[in-house]
Structure 1
Amino acid sequence: MRSFLPVLCLLVACLATGRAQTPPLISVHDPVMIRQDSTYYVFATGRGLRLWSSPDRQHWKAEKPVFDTPPAWTLQANPATRPNDLWAPDISYHNGLYYLYYSSSVFGKNSSAIGLATNTTLHPADPNYHWADRGLVIQSVPGQDNWNAIDPNLFVDDEKQGWLTFGSFWSGIQLVRLNDSLTAPAANANLHTIASRPRTDSTGVRNAGNGAIEAPFLFKHNGYHYLFVSVDYCCRGVNSTYKIWVGRSKKITGPYLDQSGKQMKQGGGTPVLQGDANWQGVGHNAVYTVNNADYLIYHGYDAADKGKSKLLIRELRWDKTGWPVVP
């Protein structure tokens, strides 16, 4: 299981078939959460990476974005993107530092790159609060790479080895072993495709195609590595079709199999959660453990609020055969 401080959002949220209660749910896209001391933090996609804090996981305060100005490397590596438009953060704590991975990309293209920033504290009022940008971690190049360097998630294995999983459309979800500083792929590390969906177009590396899969998150439970992914389409408001699938493997590099035994890199995946009349599309999830209970954190598109993307939390349980289920 990746290393992080205990995290839980007890924000009163509806079940997938119900309506949200007060206080209102915050509007986020691609949320991740972590706690330092008694304060909870949510990071999300947005200009400079959006950030909220809360003392009680119900009443949220918008903090300044992580970056006031775009990291210089993003302007050099990906000049086609909007400056400081950063996506899909991933936050965790290791060896006295908070590691924040994030994406710089152009929507619908694999002109993309993943960067890293670190901090010794998450408290904005702390005099030591400062995000040190560590620069480019990995990059995909249009016309050259058949994968997309967005949606990063760091997983640290039982031997303290770091792995980065990422990917969206193209050839699907990738996994690469990182160096000891977690700042780049390890020397001679192989890129593993661990999940994908069939594409019916023939546009090759120049187009995302229609194999909609992205937003990987790795979680270890009872000896298995569980790979959560989001399939179908986000970002369309009430027309979104996002849903969450999962597969598992004893080995970090796979193969990841669904409940029927089909490999995820051959289009397999066991459904975990999908949208309904109230939440039109749900996805880009993380899984966190608090007091021996697991929780699914994700966003959904609120049909009662013009399809705005909102933070949602559901308890995640495990059936007798070890597969995750949402009650």
Structure 2
Amino acid sequence: MLLLIFTTGQAQDEAAHRKAYLERVVGVETHKDTTRVHDPVMIRENGKYYLFTTGWGISVFSSDDQITWKRERPVFDEVPEWTREAVEDFKGHIWAPDIAYYKGQYHIYYSISSFGKNTSAMGVATNKTLDPDSPDFEWVDHGKVIQSVPGETDWNAIDANFIVDEAGTPYLSFGSFWGGLMLAQLTPDGLSLAQEVDDLTVLATRQTSTNAIEAPFIIQKDGFYYLFASFDFCCRGAESTYKVVVGRSENLAGAYFDADGQSMLEGGGTLVVEGGERYAGAGHNAVVSFDGVDYLVFHAYDMERDGNSYLRILPIEWENGWPKVEAVY
């Protein structure tokens, strides 16, 4: 009986702590999720959180608590010249960055594209620090990593995600619609491809007419690689149908299977989060870990705020080897 009382009390304390976190950070009830973003990724340096998102020159925000976010200067004051040559109608609005600390410096991978086409490319820039007040702060662009060309490549070079395998080899996963999600090996410095574009690995497809899959994000946990992806359609405000799914594999290159055993090469994917009554869509996620807790970071289209996309941060629980989030919608 004492054990039962203790266990029940412990569960109640954990539930209360979880509810307080959701109210404080997620802001569903307190309406503190006021940061409008698209395609967010988050990292922490010296106790400060930094958010990188789609925007002119790559939008940047900083925060001490994940609640109040300060807009910082964009990564690029002037977009790299190579981008205008790669995509003729590119105007400086950079998509879907990913940030990683690798070999003593921060690497940011970013996408440029013509909307609805696979006229796209991804570049990379590095910095010794994310603190704009540091004398070491300077983003150095290293140019194009990979490019997709209509009629030549059956994949779309956007939505980069950086991952290092168990041997320490760096890779990029990426992709949107077309032939699905891809995996490419990088050179040891992480700045260019280490393989031919004809030899890329396919990670996931929908096997539908539109093949509406994009935004891969891979993490390694407890002996598995987990591939998160976004299904269906973003960018339609209240009509958005975005959702996040996941599969796992013992190998970075796959094959990835969902909790029901279906391959992600055949449209498989276990649901992680989707829209509801308040949010019309939820997607383009990152997964980050701070102080032993994993978080799903993504944007969602808020029906109570004109269908605009806002930052969402939800703690992840792991049940039987699969990620679960308490989607308060």
**The one of 78, 98, 105 aligned to 2:113:** 105
**The one of 58, 61, 66 aligned to 1:49:** 58
Unaligned stretches of 5+ residues in structure 2: 1-20
**The one of 139, 145, 148 aligned to 1:137:** 145
Code of the aligned partner of 2:322: W
Change (3 A) 1:61 1:10: farther
Alpha-carbon displacement from aligned partner over 1:159-191 (angstroms, at most 9, x marks no partner): 211010000000100001111111112145730
Task: Identify the range of structure 1 (110-119 vs 67-76) with the bigger mean alpha-carbon deviation.
Answer: 67-76
TM-score, L = length of structure 2 = 0.89
Distance 2:207 2:264 in 1: 11
Residue 25 of structure 1 pairs with residue 34 of structure 2: yes
Code of the aligned partner of 1:233: F
Change (3 A) 1:261 1:54: same
TM-score, L = length of structure 1 = 0.90
Change (3 A) 1:126 1:9: farther
Distance 1:130 1:9 in 2: 35
Give the CA deviation at 1:73: 0.9
Give the CA deviation at 1:22: 4.3
**The one of 8, 15, 26 aligned to 1:13:** 26
Residue 78 of structure 1 pairs with residue 78 of structure 2: no
The answer to whether the 8 A contact 1:48-1:66 is kept is yes
- Structure of greater Rg: 2
Distance 1:307 1:159 in 2: 44
Change (3 A) 1:154 1:9: farther
Give the CA deviation at 1:219: 0.8
Give the CA deviation at 1:215: 0.4
The answer to whether the 8 A contact 1:12-1:22 is kept is no
Task: Identify the range of structure 1 (20-29 vs 49-58) with the bigger mean alpha-carbon deviation.
Answer: 20-29
Distance 1:197 1:154 in 2: 22
Give the secondary-structure state (helix, strand or coil) at the position aligned to 1:257: coil
Aligned length: 305
Match of 1:213 in 2: 213
Unaligned stretches of 5+ residues in structure 1: 1-7, 201-209
Give the CA deviation at 1:128: 1.9
Distance 2:205 2:34 in 1: 32
Code of the aligned partner of 2:286: A
Code of the aligned partner of 2:95: W
Code of the aligned partner of 1:93: Y
Match of 1:169 in 2: 177
Distance 2:24 2:98 in 1: 20
Aligned pairs for 1:228-247 (under 5 A) are: 228-247=228-247
Aligned pairs for 1:86-125 (under 5 A) are: 86-125=94-133
Distance 2:40 2:158 in 1: 14
Give the secondary-structure state (helix, strand or coil) at the position aligned to 1:123: coil
Residue 148 of structure 1 pairs with residue 147 of structure 2: no
Match of 1:307 in 2: 307
Q: Which has the higher helix share?
A: 2
The answer to whether the 8 A contact 1:10-1:58 is kept is no
Give the CA deviation at 1:199: 3.0
Code of the aligned partner of 1:145: T
Q: CA RMSD in A?
A: 1.6
Match of 2:257 in 1: 257
**The one of 180, 186, 197 aligned to 2:206:** 197
The answer to whether the 8 A contact 1:9-1:57 is kept is no
Match of 2:47 in 1: 38
Give the secondary-structure state (helix, strand or coil) at the position aligned to 1:12: helix
The answer to whether the 8 A contact 2:282-2:300 is kept is yes
Task: Identify the range of structure 1 (145-154 vs 266-275) with the bigger mean alpha-carbon deviation.
Answer: 266-275
Match of 1:5 in 2: none
The answer to whether the 8 A contact 2:33-2:311 is kept is no
Match of 2:7 in 1: none
Match of 2:6 in 1: none
Match of 1:224 in 2: 224
Match of 1:207 in 2: none
Change (3 A) 1:20 1:100: farther
The answer to whether the 8 A contact 1:147-1:169 is kept is yes
Match of 2:322 in 1: 323
Structure 1 segments (4+ residues) deviating >6 Å: none
Alpha-carbon displacement from aligned partner over 1:238-297 (angstroms, at most 9, x marks no partner): 110000011110011111111111110111111111100111100011111222221111
Q: Percent identity at matched positions?
A: 47
Greater RCO, 1 or 2 (C-alpha within 8 Å, sep 6+): 1
Give the secondary-structure state (helix, strand or coil) at the position aligned to 2:201: strand
Give the CA deviation at 1:38: 2.3
Distance 1:199 1:287 in 2: 27
The answer to whether the 8 A contact 2:83-2:112 is kept is yes
The answer to whether the 8 A contact 2:23-2:30 is kept is no
Give the secondary-structure state (helix, strand or coil) at the position aligned to 2:26: coil
Give the CA deviation at 1:57: 2.0
The answer to whether the 8 A contact 1:28-1:310 is kept is yes
The answer to whether the 8 A contact 2:33-2:312 is kept is no
The answer to whether the 8 A contact 1:89-1:102 is kept is yes
Match of 1:3 in 2: none
